[in-house]
Amino acid sequence: MQAQSGKTVIANFLSEATETPGNEYHPTKGCRILEFEVNNISVKGKFVNAEVELWDCSGDHKFETCWPAIAKDANGVVFVFNPDQSNYDKDLESWYNYFVDQHGLRDTQCVVFAYSKFGRGSAPDQLPSCMKNLGCVQTSFEDDGENLREEFNRFLGTMLSAMSEKHEQEELGILNS
């Protein structure tokens, strides 16, 4: 989740805070939270509406002091990187180790977007070995903004299913004790 990789552009697009990306770069200071509703998410064969709280985090490591607050109670992680930038793999590995490994999230609670502002850009050589079980969605607004939204909605469906199963297991545990 590098600086200048498109995290804010994607967050704005998904939350419909803006439909088209801006041309000026404005770095995110620490973190900002977007709250929005997504309709018709497929969860266990049913369509539901979901309230989403998306935390758009800076890729600048000087904001690492914000990471504990960002990771607390996170249900999932959206990794965004620009495959045309160097060392994206080291940044991804650092974020994965902190937000997934150290906080007990599973790979099914993660999605990876390789984002290029204009066109699809170059395909990533490979994700870090710790992310070998994650799929990587190549995207750009020039080619397929709606595909980005569909992939995000599919990820939300997976997240909501996992959250529902966890809740059901907790309830069974209470009933069986």
pLDDT per position as a tens digit, 105-135: 989 999 999 887 766 555 566 789 999 999 8
Domain boundaries, the chain: 7-176
pLDDT per position as a tens digit, 149-160: 999 999 999 989
User: pLDDT confidence of 171, banded at 50, 70, 90?
Assistant: confident
Gyration radius of the chain's alpha carbons: 16
Residue 42 identity = S
Mean pLDDT of 45-56: 93
Mean of all residue pLDDT scores within the chain: 84
Which residues 6+ apart lie within 8 Å of 165 measured at CB?
none
- Nearest one of 26, 20, 21, 22 to 3, comparing CA atoms: 26
Query: Model pTM?
Result: 0.84
pLDDT per position as a tens digit, 62-118: 888 888 999 998 999 999 998 888 888 888 999 999 999 999 898 999 999 988 776
Catalogue the E-assigned strands of 21-175: 31-43, 46-57, 77-81, 110-115, 136-139
Q: What residues form DSSP beta bridges with 114?
A: 81, 138
Do the beta carbons of residue 126 and residue 89 sit within 8 Å?
A: yes
Give the tokens for residue 49: 């509406």
Q: The domain at 7-176 falls in which architecture?
A: 3-Layer(aba) Sandwich (3.40)
